[in-house]
Amino acid sequence: MTLLQERARTAETGQRRGIRRNGSLTPYLFLLPYSLLFGTFMLVPAVYGLWISLHDWDYLLPGKPFVGLDNYRALFDPGSAVYEYFWQSMSATGVFTVASVPLLLTVPLAVALLLNRSFPGRTFFRAVYFAPYVLGVAVIGVLWRFVLDPNLGAVNALLGTNTPWTTDLPWAWVSLVGVTVWWTLGFNAVIYLAGLQDIPRELYEAARIDGGGRWAEFRHVTLPGLRPVLLFVVINTVLQAANMFGQSYLITQGAPGVETRTAIMYIAQTGLRDFKMGSAAAMSYLLTLALLAVSLIIFRVFRSRED
Amino acid sequence: MRRAKGIAWYTVLIGLSLIFLAPLVWMLLTSVKTPGEATRVPPTLLPLEPTTGAYGTLFQAGSQTPVLRWFLNSMLAAGGQALLVLIVASTAAYPLARMRFRGRNLFFGMIVATLFVPIFTLIIPNFLIIDRLGWLDTLWALIVPGAASAFGVFFLRQFFESLPRELEEAAVLEGANSWQVFTRVILPLSKPALATLGLISFLTNWNDFIWPIYVLFSPESFTLPPGLGILQGAYTINYPVVMAGAAVASIPALLLFVVAQRYIIEGVSRSGLKG
């Protein structure tokens, strides 16, 4: 929705004035360096990947026979070698997405509402809540692996428990979701906060005069006011969750067995450790299709709400 | 009454801050403990015998885990990519913001579409492309492909469009060509946006984990994030060393954040509003 508005706006300003009708090569020369990179590392791989997925592409073997759709068929054939592990990893990604996205949408909103007023130290607190996000998943991973260690970790020592945070279900999921919320909460919070600040004060005043109370104010002013940022936040959060890799890789290492091994982990393992690239490429196209479908559904939901 | 409310308010804010900061403080405290103390149950809060032994182990010459080398590699890769992104994103964003030409909407639509495609789906073909280019196990693999991300182009185009056109028109009247307008008018006016994009690119690359663990193989070519994975494996129960490694990877990022907090947070909030 914001994208469409954005495009409409671009078209308008384009016609308005100032933009030189440039028949020359100039714009293309400016675009050249980026286009080279975009072509080599975005467009070519998108097509090349499709080509790979149609072959029995073993990186270590000289012959890479064409197999048509066999790699895709294997993903749907319960008798194939990849079927069980692939769907196991897809369901792990699904579990993580379903468990983490609601929290990643609501907790940052609560934090943003907390920060959405002027008080001394506001910028300081905003920075503190954002701080973990500037660290990489590698730092976060090894740190929480230590803190959550069932035997030696500070969390169990603090709680006086011996919960298997990193080694057993459902605790491993609790850990992965909890760490992810802790780590990335600041990102959505900052975006929400910017959205909140764009809501005109008069709307709140009007709501107050109507005497609706806090909840009504939230429902009828705050939420609709956040709509411009909400679509981005929802799609981005879902995509990020569906791409989860580092947390599982470092904190649970897939534990207890392969239950917390995500789709990206399995694809990378298949393609870049076992070098079964044809199969891995097919998996990544299937995952991409699934994610595109999810994005489209989210788009639809937002658009139908707007009408 | 108002005062009591104020105290409750700050209690909540400070309580939350502890949740975010305590693990980071714990990392630093653990890094200056002895291995024995770090795994003591129940743990000690402050180190009984503070020691920089873990850092000594990390930076030891000739070790299997050359952390200093990883640090330099990380700096080169992150700095190199930030620079590359600034160059290619600004030159691409300028015509998209200011010129009309055939294929403009198609091109823009295409790069925007890639913002919705998870980048990991390209990891297999990109691995093979890097292999063809002879870049496996080199820093080029970390610097160049990531600069193809559409984020920078999108971000700068947005900013360029918000600039007033009068200065450009004046420059054109004085006979400046497009390149001169770009370098003498647009870029100087865009310093804050360029700083934001540079910082975000640097941090993203500095923290990148999945790509380096698959395209780098030898310890000397590692950056810090894959290096931390190695440390975790090599010093399984020597937690001070692992935490010291994590601290070395965190401190530059945190320092950058403290110094340039405004730019980074601004950049993030803008990416949401306009994304």
Q: Please give chain A's pLDDT, 307 residues, in tens.
A: 344 455 445 444 444 444 555 458 999 999 999 999 999 999 999 999 999 999 999 998 888 999 999 999 999 999 999 999 999 999 999 999 999 999 999 999 999 999 998 888 999 999 999 999 999 999 999 999 999 999 889 999 999 899 999 999 999 999 999 999 999 999 999 999 999 988 888 888 888 787 778 888 888 889 988 988 999 899 999 999 999 999 999 999 988 889 999 999 999 999 999 999 999 999 999 999 999 999 999 989 988 876 5
The domain in which residue A180 lies consists of 88-306
Task: Determine which helix (DSSP H) or strand (DSSP E) holds B99, and give its type and residue range.
Answer: strand B99-100
Tokens 């015998």 belong to B49
Q: Is residue A143 part of a domain?
A: yes
Domain spans, chain B: 61-274
Q: In this complex, is the C-beta atom of B68 within 8 Å of any C-beta atom belonging to chain A?
A: no
Measure CB to CB from residue B126 to each of A33, A41, A134 and give the nearest one: A41
Q: Is residue A96 part of a domain?
A: yes
Give the CATH number for residue A195: 1.10.3720.10
- B1 pLDDT band, cuts 50/70/90, is low
Set of chain B residues whose Cβ sits within 8 Å of the Cβ of A128: 16-17, 20-21
In chain A, the percentage of residues whose pLDDT exceeds 90 is 70
Q: Is residue A17 part of a domain?
A: no
Q: Is residue A19 part of a domain?
A: no
DSSP state of B183: I
Question: Looking at chain A from residue 67 to 106, which residues have their Cβ under 8 Å from any Cβ of chain B?
Answer: none
Question: For the structural domain made of B61-274, what CATH number should be given?
Answer: 1.10.3720.10
Provide the ipTM: 0.92
Residue of B nearest to A39 (CA): B148
Q: Is residue A204 part of a domain?
A: yes
Set of chain A residues whose Cβ sits within 8 Å of the Cβ of B212: none
pLDDT value of residue A1: 39
The CA–CA distances, whole Å, from A251 to A93, A148, A175, B67, B271 equal 15, 9, 8, 21, 29
Average pLDDT over residues B87-97: 97
Q: Is residue A123 part of a domain?
A: yes
Q: Is residue A54 part of a domain?
A: no
Q: What count of Cα atoms within 13 Å lies in the side-chain half-sphere of residue A93?
A: 25
pLDDT value of residue B275: 39
- What's this model's pTM, rounded to 2 decimal places? 0.91
Task: Determine which helix (DSSP H) or strand (DSSP E) holds B100, and give its type and residue range.
Answer: strand B99-100
- B272 pLDDT band, cuts 50/70/90, is low
**pLDDT of B219 strictly over 70:** yes
Set of chain A residues whose Cβ sits within 8 Å of the Cβ of B232: 142, 145, 250
- Inter-chain contact A272–B224, Cβ cutoff 8 Å? no
Measure CB to CB from residue A2 to each of B16, B117, B274 and give the nearest one: B274
Number of domains in chain A: 1
CB B54 within 8 A of CB B30: no
- Inter-chain contact A129–B254, Cβ cutoff 8 Å? no
pLDDT value of residue B30: 95
